[in-house]
Copies of this chain bind each other. A is one copy, B any other.
């Protein structure tokens, strides 16, 4: 990446989200249309469809939504077939990848205004084992072939981490409790209900040490963002991308040098911090990929909030709670806000956009000026880190 190639500042100028739900009454193409139209109306000074020259759609699997070739569908829906569009997929990091590519194309001057749409309709497959099969397409071929579910792969990570550093099942439960508590303040969240540590500990083991309540739910939902390289034309309070990075690791857990790390996230954070000139301590809030509770604890360490092996102490001490010094997942996170895969990363950026503009309602982090998004795919084969600031 040549520094000279990125010469335009890029900012988010609009965001729109459906509520995340266990089962939407709408088809995938309808929720796509809803957020694509909806986001245009959120721009403070207005934007016309003709000003949008780039459309990037984020979606995980067409086996969920039964729809492909969605970029021209979005272009048609907003009434501008002249925009250039395509869909991207990078497993659960598809949304972060879409924002990353929008930033690349805008910051280099190749495009001016980008509409990013993320969506997933996971309820389409019902409550069947087919859902697990579709999810496992993102894992390494060996993991897919033996039929390992995601819970088992994250259980390997959790076992390794807990044995090495002394974290307990209660620590994992505290992450779930915190994020459920946060979701009670978020009208967009799927699981707006408090739970207790005892609720988590009593929930059935799926793959020891992980229990049902350590996992994020299956979700339907869609989110749209507008990004611009001339943001002040459209709003007086844009939210700038100050640092951004996409990194990879081995898709299969067993191939990694440190099974209890999320190395792609560490590398992506390192690069994003360097770009922004900021550190973890400068962040007013974090939205991170807590598909399973253990991931959030390890991410504290990868993102530089805690030293290696000490992440679980942050949740014990309340540092990452809503009223703590470094709130993590004030939205409720994947755990309680929900995880409509293709929408997830886009929704994290939307959340930080609202927080930094002071528009997050009951879940507003007071005086938030800088926030970080971490969105990863599979068990960490891809990670996107984005630092946003007013």
Contact of A62 among B82, B137, B250 (CB under 8 A): B137
Q: When the two chains form their complex, are residues B249 and A137 in contact, meaning their CB atoms are under 8 A apart?
A: no
Q: When the two chains form their complex, are residues A72 and B110 in contact, meaning their CB atoms are under 8 A apart?
A: no
- In chain A, residues 344-390, which have Cβ atoms closer than 8 Å to a Cβ of chain B? 377-378, 381-382
Q: When the two chains form their complex, are residues B69 and A378 in contact, meaning their CB atoms are under 8 A apart?
A: yes
Q: When the two chains form their complex, are residues B88 and A138 in contact, meaning their CB atoms are under 8 A apart?
A: no
List, in ascending order, chain B residues with CB within 8 A of A60's CB: 68
User: Which interface residue of A53, A60, A66 has the most chain B CB atoms within 10 A?
Assistant: A66
List, in ascending order, chain B residues with CB within 8 A of A85's CB: 90, 248, 382
Tell me the complex Cα distance, A382–B140, Å. Answer: 32
Tell me the complex Cα distance, A91–B5, Å. Answer: 30
A379 CB to closest chain B CB, in angstroms? 10
List, in ascending order, chain B residues with CB within 8 A of A251's CB: 69, 72-73, 76
Tell me the complex Cα distance, A377–B90, Å. Answer: 21
Tell me whether A275 is interfacial, beta carbon within 8 Å. no
- A51-68 CB mask vs B (1 if < 8 Å, else 0) is 001000000111100111
Q: When the two chains form their complex, are residues A86 and B72 in contact, meaning their CB atoms are under 8 A apart?
A: no
Tell me whether A230 is interfacial, beta carbon within 8 Å. no
A34 CB to closest chain B CB, in angstroms? 13
Q: When the two chains form their complex, are residues B250 and A81 in contact, meaning their CB atoms are under 8 A apart?
A: yes
- CB contact under 8 A between A382 and B69, given known A88-B87, A141-B27: yes
Which B-chain residue is minimally distant from A104 (CB atoms)? Answer: B110
Tell me whether A146 is interfacial, beta carbon within 8 Å. no
Tell me whether A29 is interfacial, beta carbon within 8 Å. yes
Contact of A81 among B5, B53, B137, B248 (CB under 8 A): B248
Tell me whether A279 is interfacial, beta carbon within 8 Å. no
The 6 A-B pairs of least Cβ separation, nearest first, read A69-B91, A69-B138, A5-B109, A72-B381, A68-B137, A72-B248
Given contacts A1-B53, A1-B110, A27-B141, 19 further A-B contacts (CB under 8 A): A5-B110, A29-B141, A61-B63, A62-B62, A62-B63, A62-B137, A66-B133, A69-B90, A69-B137, A69-B251, A69-B381, A72-B251, A72-B377, A73-B141, A83-B248, A85-B382, A87-B89, A101-B101, A104-B110
Interface residues of A (CB under 8 A from B): 1-2, 4-6, 27, 29, 53, 60-63, 66-69, 71-73, 75-76, 81-91, 97, 101, 104-105, 108-111, 133-134, 137-141, 144, 246-251, 255, 377-378, 381-382
